[in-house]
Structure 1
Amino acid sequence: MSVSTAIQIYRLLACILLSGYAVGTGIKEAAAALNGLMLAYDDSTGLWDLSDPDAAWWQSSVALQATLDFMTASGTREHLPYANYTINMQRAPLAWWPQGGGDFRAESTDDTGWWALAMTSMYTLTGERSFLDIALEDEAYMAQYWTLSECNGGLIWRIQDVSYKAAISNELYIELTATLHNLIPWDTTFLNRSLDAWDWFKDSGMINSGWLINDGLTKAANDSCINNNAPTWTYNQGVVLGGLVQLYLATGDAQFLIFGRNIAGAVLASAQLSPGGILTEPCPLEGCPDGNAASFKGLFIRNLAKLNAHLPDRPYSLFLSTNANTMYVNARSSSAGDTDLYGMLWQGPFDKTSIGRQQSAVMLLVAALGV
């Protein structure tokens, strides 16, 4: 089945799905979900982990990003003090990573990348140069782990043992460098780095024959690097879309949007990633590796919305609104006082709350505001 045929069938199914009830999510629902996320905010650390001891450090950067996305979309600045507090608390030297430490330099390149992108959002929102300076420092930290000795390029993922060319680290670097170019007048350095990183990435083998992105590369018998056929996590399909949009804005070259369409269309056409037209991780609810996976869908959906906004036919608007409405109806907690908390499966039923689940819900509801 072609991608275009799959999308046409999906649109028909979505209309049938939505015809059974009248729903619609908006700013009120997004604000309520963000308030649910803020229930997990720990004033002593500036992290979103108070009720979720398994939350990873990088997930607080995503929670920060979700908060910034809401403020950008709504015009409110109510949560800006929390954002500033989180940044001030977390940019301090980290005792658990003495080799780097400070300003979000971490033991894995993707952790630094998440925080750096949030800093570009803070700079865009506030105009305060200090946030851009942190993002620049983080880019320099990531760039030093681009290695030619394995796979002919690419950022390594884990710094301590200089191992693994992972999709997510390189996607984040593409988006970060292109974003920096678009924020800095007369820049050429970051655009060239982003273009080089994209050229390496698209030829690396991580994009499989079905236009989906596996988790990373592994060595073959002849010492070359090949696709490791690891799961096609939704965030690996999403972050690259953000990078492609930034490269399109930087160059005006429509090829980047075409690449984005191919990847996004493959997700929508996938029976594993979009069963019944609802975004789903490629693992059973009980089989996802850890709490990290709960954050992935929100990261895909926010970047799909970015791509959608730059395509004249807005091909993903129905997908965005259908997922938001389905989640609102089927995945919300029914417990008294907790009705704006959301579970892992947007198809439902609600299972439990976590940082990843809630920040993904916020990102979905914010993304649907633009359709």
Structure 2
Amino acid sequence: MKSAQKILLSIIGLISISNVVQAVDLDLDSYDSIYAACQLLATGLMDYYWGQDYGGTIGMFTHPYYWWEAGGAFGSLIDYGYFFENSTYDAVIIQSMMYQKGDDSNFMPLNQTTTEGNDDQVFWGISAIQAAERNFTEAGGNYPSYLELAQATFNTMKNRWDDDNCGGGLRWQIFTWNNGYDYKNTVSNAGLFHLGARLLRYTGNDSYYLDWCERVYDWLVDVDFVDETLWYAYDGADIVNNSCTQRTSYLWTYNLALMISGCAYMYNYTGEEVWYNRTWGFLKSSSVFFDNYGVMYEATCMPVHTCQTDQRSFRAYLARFLQLTAILVPDTYDTVYAHLKTTAKAVGLSCVGGTDGHTCGMNWSYSGLNPNNYGWDGYYGLGEQMSALEVLQSLVAIDRPAPYTSRDGGSSTGDVTFGNSTTVATVKMLDLDKGDTAGASIITVIVGITIIALGYYVIV
């Protein structure tokens, strides 16, 4: 029997009898047990990576996974390497981060900028500050540091702050030609708040980051994207038709995740009671994202089976940022880990699918709903795999040092103004002059004649 199969049988407890798959719970109190399971899940995650394959793009995962989700996945792997002191994927992460950083080192690469949104950019920036906080290996040479990448991302985004519509806030999209340019959403602004809070804590630069964090948070409350009574973080609102007065009230896990962890970073740094109370407010409201079994789920789309590709990855961020919240605000630890441990048990039952036997599903409560106790619901993908990995590896976060800062061991250095001159990339939609048009016409004629001639040759 192969060693990987032995690990799978001993850790996840798969027993295959007459095509019936059963699973026992993981030993959630055993580091070795969790590590062995996470090794399998990380391997499954990287099955979707094609950056090193012929025809692939460095830093990108296979279709249909968009660029932003790749940034999120590398964040998952940074923590995987840190928690388990495993360097297996370090080279791929470094290569991908440096390849996708863009010419201005702000995660606006030319292969993405015509379609890139503010929310897309910020998830790469979050992975950069995460790398700085984990003392992840720097690329070195002439490459920017992880702190500089995070600072450039923050500066580029805050320079797009739009006071002319809805009294402030970032638009969803960066470029006018993209659908969503006239929509302001929570995730873009919560991402800016979250990234700013982490930069504040890491650098200790109150004069630069503190005001921005407070401005973004206050704006989210003012336009009612964040409700401080229910402690919900809603989706967003249209600019043109209603000036952000009629919000879209969808609730997504990653919006809440960015808000609760941003508040946790703010409290951890400032010690101010207001941020402590906000952290607890969002933590209490997070119960909406745990089903009747106490298992994390995407409440807006999973019950009605409408989760799209992006949405199937959102729980990865809730698991990661709840873990950070528990570390940064220790009073929340018991509450957070009650949720994560219940969910982890269900994940262990879910990740038994596919030809490899450790493919993870979307509905982690499927084993409870299925009378035959089959754990895998038949769904699979990058989002499912990284979400499951984040849940399981969060269980060992307490065994490693808290996120570093520049004052307690963080080695990444930067410049607060890095990338500050850039608001949008120097790209535009294809603009052909007369010479371009004429040249294109000639090429079209030549290609057309060639096709006709080839067709005639084949027929004759």
TM-score where L is the length of structure 1 = 0.84
The match for 1:293 is 311
SS at match of 2:189: helix
Alignment of 1:14-25 (within 5 A): 22-25=25-28
Conserved? CA contact 2:199–2:209, under 8 Å: yes
Name the CA shift for 1:280/1:205 in 2 (closer, same or farther; >3 Å): same
Conserved? CA contact 1:182–1:246, under 8 Å: yes
CA distance in 2: counterparts of 1:247 and 1:305, whole angstroms: 16
Whether 1:194 and 2:233 are equivalent positions in the alignment is no
The match for 1:37 is 45
**Matching residue's letter, 1:317:** Y
**Matching residue's letter, 1:215:** D
The match for 2:59 is 47
**Aligned with 1:345 (options 363, 369, 385):** 363
Conserved? CA contact 2:25–2:345, under 8 Å: no
**Matching residue's letter, 1:156:** R
The match for 2:123 is 114
CA distance in 2: counterparts of 1:370 and 1:170, whole angstroms: 27
**Matching residue's letter, 2:357:** T
Name the CA shift for 1:61/1:289 in 2 (closer, same or farther; >3 Å): same
The match for 1:152 is 167
The match for 1:307 is 325
Conserved? CA contact 1:104–1:138, under 8 Å: no
**Matching residue's letter, 1:193:** W
Name the CA shift for 1:274/1:227 in 2 (closer, same or farther; >3 Å): farther
Q: Which runs of 5+ in 2 are unaligned?
A: 1-22, 29-33, 139-143, 367-375, 399-460
Q: Deviations over 1:49-86 (max 9, x none)?
A: 23xx1111100001100001111211222211010111
Conserved? CA contact 2:168–2:219, under 8 Å: yes
Name the CA shift for 1:198/1:127 in 2 (closer, same or farther; >3 Å): farther
- How many residue pairs are counted as aligned between the two chains? 340
Conserved? CA contact 1:45–1:89, under 8 Å: no
SS at match of 1:277: coil
**Matching residue's letter, 1:24:** D
SS at match of 2:245: strand
Name the CA shift for 1:119/1:313 in 2 (closer, same or farther; >3 Å): closer
Q: Deviations over 1:86-122 (max 9, x none)?
A: 112222469xxxxx54598663111110001111122
Conserved? CA contact 2:353–2:378, under 8 Å: no
SS at match of 1:334: coil
Q: Cα offset for 1:207?
A: 2.2
Q: Deviations over 1:2-50 (max 9, x none)?
A: xxxxxxxxxxxxxxxxxx9653242221222111111112114233523
SS at match of 1:215: strand
CA distance in 2: counterparts of 1:369 and 1:240, whole angstroms: 23
Q: Cα offset for 1:284?
A: 3.3
**Sequence identity of aligned pairs in percent?**
21
TM-score where L is the length of structure 2 = 0.68
**Matching residue's letter, 2:395:** A
The match for 1:279 is 296
Q: Deviations over 1:254-309 (max 9, x none)?
A: 321321221221221x3x65332111112136643520001111111111122222
CA distance in 2: counterparts of 1:21 and 1:354, whole angstroms: 23
Whether 1:368 and 2:378 are equivalent positions in the alignment is no
Whether 1:75 and 2:85 are equivalent positions in the alignment is yes
SS at match of 2:86: coil
Q: Cα offset for 1:343?
A: 1.0
